[in-house]
Structure 1
Amino acid sequence: MDYRDRITIEPDKRGGKPCIRSLRITVYDILGYLASGMSEAEILADFPVLEPADIRAALAFAADFERRLMAIPSL
């Protein structure tokens, strides 16, 4: 699965933050819920519009972002 099929960035939605499938739920929202201890099942129950693949896409996006950030040479 390519996270780019599920993560959208639109300047007029949530300030251009990466969102799940053009919804108003950001990648950062999903990561925050997971970091606070919510399970995937709890997130999906609270947000029925989400699919399990959306949560995996948020994680893949974050991993790719971190990988790219670490590739930037130190100044």
Structure 2
Amino acid sequence: MTTRRFDRITVDPAQLGGKPCIRGLRISVGMIVEMFAAGKSTEVILDEYPYLEGEDIRQALAYSAALAENEYHLDLRPTA
């Protein structure tokens, strides 16, 4: 797997509590991932947020995946 550069993900402590956002907009990576989890397609998200671009969504998903692969501190229920 190659290292990916997230040039569309920004973090500003004065914006949305320092959550990772898309290009300084008030749209967090988490918001995009939640929309996908709720079943919205890229096309629907882009229609609802016309200032977003397809690459914004791809990077938000890739950033979230990278965090999931590298973080182990979540309090998850153990498997049976």
Instruction: Say yes or no: TM over 0.5.
Output: yes
How many corresponding residue pairs? 69
Match of 2:61 among 39, 59, 62: 59
User: If the length of structure 2 is used for normalisation, what is the TM-score?
Assistant: 0.82
Query: Which structure has more helix as a fraction of its residues?
Result: 1
Q: For the Cα contact (< 8 Å) 1:6–1:20, is it kept in 2? A: yes
Instruction: Please identify runs of 4+ aligned residues in structure 1 that moved more than 3 A.
Output: none
Structure 1: runs of 5+ lacking an equivalent: 71-75
Deviation at 1:3? 4.8
State the TM-score, normalizing by the size of structure 1. Answer: 0.87
Larger radius of gyration: 2
Listed as ranges, the matches of 1:22-41 within 5 Å are: 22-41=24-43
* 3-state secondary structure, aligned to 1:5: coil
Could you say what the CA RMSD is over the residues aligned between the two structures, in angstroms? 1.0
Structure 2 residues without counterparts, runs of 5 or longer: 73-80
Q: Which has the higher contact order (CA 8 A, sep 6+)?
A: 1
